[in-house]
Amino acid sequence: MPWSDEDYRRAFRDGHARNLHVAGLLLSWGVWVKCPVLRFASDHREIAEFTRSEQDLVTKAGVIEVKGQGRSFTGDPADFAYDSQIVDTVESWEGKRVRPVAYVFLSEPTKQCLVLPTKSRPHWRIETKFDRLKRRSIDFYVVPGTELRSMDDLRKFLVEQDTSADELRVKG
């Protein structure tokens, strides 16, 4: 059965809920964050445009991409029980107008998060995998699990960026 309009809408609603969850964490740290409103594309051409231009979360440090995960993990990268982590589809990453500074992976079962700074890009490799939702083989960027970082690492980075941006406004 092909990817349906309802599959697309459900995926976007679920993704937006994950974005709001992570935005709430960032706000609790005092980090400025914007979570764009949920919108749906009206046709396949518009879906492609959304893929190029969508931004899950916008911070002063840049865009953060949020990805839900069906597998369980804690928020401690040292406990990550898997050899690798899917980052994104090659098509999505390569087509982005603004590339994220980090990916946040949210475990659906545990609600814990792990982070991948995109400066790790030299360690990514391409693997072709079958996407069960879209029911086709897709090329994905995959990274060794050792590249994952904690939300505390992300917090420190974002707080530093927020402070730097505030200092620039005061001086300017």
pLDDT at position 165 over 60 = no
Give the model's pLDDT for residue 135. Answer: 82
Residue 172: inside a domain: no
CA distance linking residue 143 with residue 90, whole number of Å: 12
* Domain count within the chain: 1
Instruction: Supply the CATH number for residue 116's domain.
Output: 3.40.1350
Residue 169: inside a domain: no
Residue 168: inside a domain: no
Residue 81: inside a domain: yes
pLDDT at position 138 over 90 = yes
Task: State the chain's mean pLDDT as an integer.
Answer: 86
Give the residue among 130, 7, 114, 127 at the shortest CA–CA distance from 69.
114
Residue 49: inside a domain: yes
Q: What pairs with residue 86 in β-bridges?
A: 142
pLDDT tens figures, 103-119: 999 999 999 999 999 99
> Domain of 81?
5-163
